[in-house]
Chains A and B, each alone.
Chain A
Amino acid sequence: MQCSCGRKAVYHRRYSGQHLCARCFRRMVEKKFMETVRSNGFIAHTDTVACGVSGGKDSLVLLHLLHGLQKKVRFSLFALAIDEGIAGYRDRSLPYVTKACETLGVPLHVRSFKESFGYALDEVTAMKERVGACSYCGVFRRSLLNSASRELGATKLALGHNLDDESQVILMNMLRGDFARFGRMGTYRKHVNDQFVPRIKPLREIPEKEIVLYAVLAGIDFDFEECPYAPEAFRDEVRQFLNTTEEGHPGTKHALLRTYDKLYPFLNEALQPSVLPSCERCGEPSIRPLCKKCELLDAIRDGLARDDQS
Chain B
Amino acid sequence: MVRVVLLREEQILDLAYEGPAQGLLPLVGYSVETAVVLCNGVPIEEEDEVGEGDEVRILPVVSGG
| Chain B residue at minimal CB-CB distance from A56 | B64
User: B interface, by DSSP: helix, strand, loop or mixed?
Assistant: loop
Interface size class of chain B, counting residues whose CB lies under 8 Å from the partner chain: 20 to 34
How many chain-A residues does the 8 Å CB contact rule pick out? 36
- Does A160 lie within 8 Å of B42, measured CB to CB? no
- Whether the pair A55, B33 counts as a contact (CB closer than 8 A) is no
Contact B42 A224 (CB under 8 A): no
CB pair A10–B65 under 8 Å, yes or no, is no
Complex: A93 Cα to B31 Cα, angstroms: 26
Residue A9 interfacial (CB < 8 Å): yes
On whether the beta carbons of B45 and A1 are closer than 8 Å, the reply is: yes
How far, in angstroms, from A77 to B8 measured CA to CA in the complex? 32
Note all chain B residues with C-beta closer than 8 A to A213.
36, 43
Q: Which residue of B lies closest to A208 (CB)?
A: B61
Q: Does B62 contact A (CB under 8 A)?
A: yes
B65 touches A160 (CB 8 A): yes
- In whole Å, how far is B54's beta carbon from the nearest beta carbon of chain A? 15
Whether A217 is near chain B, meaning CB under 8 Å from some CB there, is yes
**Total contacts A to B, CB within 8 angstroms?**
75
Q: Which residues of chain B have C-beta atoms less than 8 A from A165's C-beta?
A: 65
- Fill in one digit per residue for B43-62: 1 if any A CB lies within 8 Å of its CB, else 0: 11111000000000001111
Residue B2 at the A interface, CB < 8 A? no
Quick one: which of B34, B45, B60, B61 contacts A12, CB cutoff 8 A? B45
A32 close to chain B: CB less than 8 A: no
Q: A12-B47, A216-B43, A247-B31 are in contact. Are A224 and B59 (CB under 8 A)?
A: yes
In the complex the two chains form, what is the Cα distance from A85 to B34 in whole Å?
28
Residue numbers in A under 8 Å from B31 (CB-CB): 243, 247
Chain B residues lying within 8 Å of A57, measured Cβ to Cβ, are 63-65
A54 pairs with B34, CB closer than 8 A: no
Min Cβ gap B7→A in Å is 7
CB pair A58 B65 closer than 8 Å: yes
- Report yes or no: A243 in contact with B33, Cβ–Cβ below 8 A: yes
CA distance A222 to B47 in the complex (A): 26
| Interfacial chain B residues near A226, Cβ < 8 Å | 62-64
Whether A225 contacts B63 in the complex (CB less than 8 A), given A10-B42, A247-B33, comes out as yes
- Cβ of B20 to closest chain A Cβ, rounded Å: 11
Check A224–B65 contact: CB distance below 8 A: no
Taking a contact as CB atoms under 8 Å apart, the answer to whether B46 and A161 are in contact is no
Q: A57-B64, A223-B63 are in contact. List 12 more A-B contacts (CB 8 A).
A: A1-B47, A10-B44, A59-B65, A165-B65, A209-B33, A209-B61, A212-B36, A216-B43, A222-B63, A224-B8, A224-B63, A225-B63
